[in-house]
């Protein structure tokens, strides 16, 4: 992929949130026309105006194929659509697998969590990749790049994170397979697995959880920030040989037991 990105467009799912918002801003700074994709129409429109340039907001859910296709069409209208970053997510509170009182985990909660954090990103990925196939390849034969968001919970799930951890392990597990699937059409696929990144979702967590997370970070001794996630997105853009990888972004965090019960 060229080191200059004028004339290119990108679709960022969860693009008005913490990680997605920082990524949308960075891509716009690099010269991309950015499509901000989220369910809340007022939020995406306001955020797209805030970014400025050739950004546009498209409201829709990433489990809705028709809505994703609208977002892809908007990206194609604004440039060579060649980048898709999926960073949508919600709070991770969930029941225990079973309680001491004998109450089992609600299966609908499990389904909803997997639908949101695994099915949704794959849905946007597959439709974006199909659109990339029509692009003219660059000097490396590249037609596009997909970046999904895993989590350190893929390997180090905490109490009450069974559904979330299963979803994020699915993102990490499909990344290399997806890259190998898409190699024949010149599309790369990578994932970023953040540890504790300061986002509005983390800001709303109880202090006990925040303190436990910071205690487990080796260095630098702080939360990560969304701009560091966006910087890693940019590095993936600029490094064509980086493909099929899930990279942890966690300050060498160790993960002793931390309950996510509120």
| Residues with a known catalytic role | 164
Closest CA to 64 of 116, 11, 21: 116
Q: How far apart are CA 134 and CA 128, in angstroms?
A: 11
State the helix-helix crossing angle for 65-78 and 120-132, rounded to 10 degrees: 40
Q: Give the SS3 label for residue 188.
A: strand
DSSP 8-state secondary structure symbol assigned to residue 104: B
Q: How far apart are CA 43 and CA 46, in angstroms?
A: 5
Task: Answer yes or no: are the C-beta atoms of 214 and 220 closer than 8 Å.
Answer: no
Query: Which residues are bridge partners to 98 per DSSP?
Result: 104
Preceding amide of 220 cis, omega within 30: yes
Q: Give the SS3 label for residue 62.
A: coil
Task: Answer yes or no: are the C-beta atoms of 84 and 71 closer than 8 Å.
Answer: no
Residue where the block lists tokens 């994170």 = 161
Closest CA to 83 of 125, 37, 122, 121: 125
């Amino acid at each position: 992929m060229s080191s200059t990105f004028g004339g290119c467009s990108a679709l960022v799912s969860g693009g008005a949130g913490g990680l997605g918002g920082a990524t949308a801003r960075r891509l716009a700074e690099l010269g991309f026309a950015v499509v901000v994709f989220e369910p809340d129409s007022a939020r995406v429109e306001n955020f797209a105006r805030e970014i400025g340039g050739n950004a546009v907001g498209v409201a829709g859910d990433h489990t809705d194929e028709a809505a994703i296709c609208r977002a892809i069409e908007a990206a194609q209208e604004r440039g060579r659509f060649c980048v898709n970053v999926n960073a949508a997510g919600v709070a991770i509170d969930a029941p225990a697998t079973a309680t001491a009182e004998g109450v089992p985990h609600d299966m609908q909660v499990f389904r909803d969590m997997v639908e949101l954090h695994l099915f949704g990103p794959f849905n946007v990925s597959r439709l974006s990749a199909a659109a990339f196939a029509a692009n003219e390849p660059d000097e490396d034969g590249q037609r596009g790049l997909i970046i999904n968001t895993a989590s350190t919970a893929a390997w180090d799930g905490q109490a009450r994170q069974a559904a979330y951890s299963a979803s994020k392990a699915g993102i990490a597990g499909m990344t290399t397979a997806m890259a190998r699937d898409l190699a024949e059409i010149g599309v790369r696929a990578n994932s970023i697995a953040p540890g504790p990144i300061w986002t509005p979702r983390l800001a709303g967590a109880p202090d006990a959880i925040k303190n436990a997370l910071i205690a487990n970070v080796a260095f630098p001794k702080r939360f990560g920030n969304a701009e560091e996630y966006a910087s890693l997105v940019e590095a993936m853009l600029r490094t064509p040989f980086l493909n099929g990888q899930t990279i942890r972004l966690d300050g060498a965090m160790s993960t002793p037991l931390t309950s996510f019960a509120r």
